[in-house]
Amino acid sequence: MFLVITKRIMRMITVILIIMTMIFIISNYRWITKFAYPIHYRDEIQVYTKEYNIDPYLVVAIMKNESGFNPKALSSKNAKGLMQIAPITGDWASKELNIVDYNEEMLYDPDLNIKIACWYLNVLHKEFDNNLELIIAAYNGGSGNVTKWLNDPRYSDDGITLKKIPFKETENYLKKVLRDYEIYKTLYNKEVKIWDKLLLIKKFI
């Protein structure tokens, strides 16, 4: 009899602990998750996303995936800085933005790197008619490649959207950036309902 009662008490304690843990997670959802999804370089992002009419959460999601917020990041293809600006894009931007005495090492400067990235995202928005998936794919795989894929029936049925991306890296990149973009919007947008937050926890834990 005593053993049965003890087991019941232990089960009750376990259930109570689980409930308390869930309450803690829900109550501190933003505080906990923001450690995994921080926002760095807020001032620069605010200035240049406003100037070039870009969603700041998109910029943060790209930055997280491109460099992990490391301003000294350098890729195997020689892309540099927080937003991993390619040399050809940096050179193009330096002419369009009239950057005085430009050189590639300047891409390691967070302010200039974010400025160029926001300018370039604005260019992609115009080129791909604000289609978010095409913009993100073009940021990684190149706008020329995305245009080719849209004109290839193997990858697009309508010339407007992609049904398949032949570059595996770009395909995975698109999925990750879209995922993080949605997470950032949910975490930092105060108007998002608590139910949406719970669904996000269920989806990504």
- Tell me which residues are annotated as active site: 66
Beta bridge mates, 74: 80
Residue with tokens 């095409």: 134
CA distance 202 to 204: 6
The answer to whether the beta carbons of residues 53 and 22 sit under 8 Å apart is no
| Whole-number Cα distances in Å, 85 to 76, 140, 159, 162 | 12, 10, 27, 24
| Whole-number Cα distances in Å, 56 to 17, 21, 164 | 39, 33, 27
C-alpha closest to that of 120 among 159, 93, 80, 88: 93
